């Protein structure tokens, strides 16, 4: 009987401790409202090849930086999101026999019906659809600040 009571006591203490730890973990999991992690967007602009903007090559730059993982985040996300759109475009081409003829057709016949949402990119980088090459590109306007807004 003493072993049984001891077992119940140890079990109760364990549940209380785990419960307290779980509460603190749930408090830690609250997201910063300014964070882009986990946020999605359906905003895709029309690509203008003549605009003054930087076009990302979506390659992870290997540099001796203590922030390598942070530096790799945007290009890695870009690659995944571009593949998602490329797949939808390939399916559209296979079923229709052509790629979208313009930006409007891309948005109404590829993005909207497939409910495509893309991960929000950091630092003012944006998605744009290159009609001529039938692909999603990532661009950054030089006047955009770190949060994507003009200073």
Q: Is the pLDDT reported for residue 133 higher than 90?
A: yes
- Give residue limits of the domains in the chain: 1-30, 35-140
Rg over CA atoms, the chain: 24
Percent of the chain with pLDDT over 70: 73
Residue 25 has a pLDDT of 45
Query: Residue 130: is it exposed, middle or buried by C-beta count within 10 angstroms (0-12/13-18/19+)?
Result: middle
Percent of the chain with pLDDT over 90: 47
Q: Is the pLDDT reported for residue 151 higher than 60?
A: no
Residue 21 has a pLDDT of 52
pLDDT digits (tens, 9 = 90+) for 47-80: 999 999 998 888 887 776 777 777 788 888 999 9
Confidence category of residue 7, pLDDT binned at 50, 70, 90: very low
Task: Please state, in angstroms and as integers, the Cα–Cα distance from residue 115 to each residue in 39, 79, 111, 141, 143, following that order.
Answer: 15, 19, 6, 27, 31
Q: Is the pLDDT reported for residue 26 higher than 60?
A: no
Q: Is the pLDDT reported for residue 130 higher than 90?
A: yes
Number of H helices, E strands in the chain: 3, 6
- How far is it, in rounded angstroms, from Cα 42 to Cα 111? 8
**pTM beyond 0.85, yes or no:** no
């Amino acid at each position: 009987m003493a072993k049984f009571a001891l077992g119940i006591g140890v079990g109760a203490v364990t549940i209380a401790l785990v419960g307290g730890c779980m509460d603190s973990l749930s408090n830690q999991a609250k997201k910063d409202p300014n964070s882009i992690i986990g946020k999605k967007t359906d905003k895709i602009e029309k690509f203008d090849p003549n605009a003054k903007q930087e076009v990302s090559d979506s390659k992870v730059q290997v540099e001796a930086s203590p922030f390598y993982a942070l530096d790799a985040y945007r290009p890695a996300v870009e690659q995944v999101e571009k593949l998602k759109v490329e797949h939808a475009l390939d399916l559209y081409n296979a079923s229709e026999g052509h790629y979208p003829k313009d930006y409007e057709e891309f948005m109404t016949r590829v993005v909207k019906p497939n409910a495509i949402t893309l991960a929000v990119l950091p630092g003012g980088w944006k998605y744009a659809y290159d009609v001529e090459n039938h692909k999603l590109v990532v661009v950054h306007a030089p006047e955009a600040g770190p949060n994507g807004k003009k200073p």
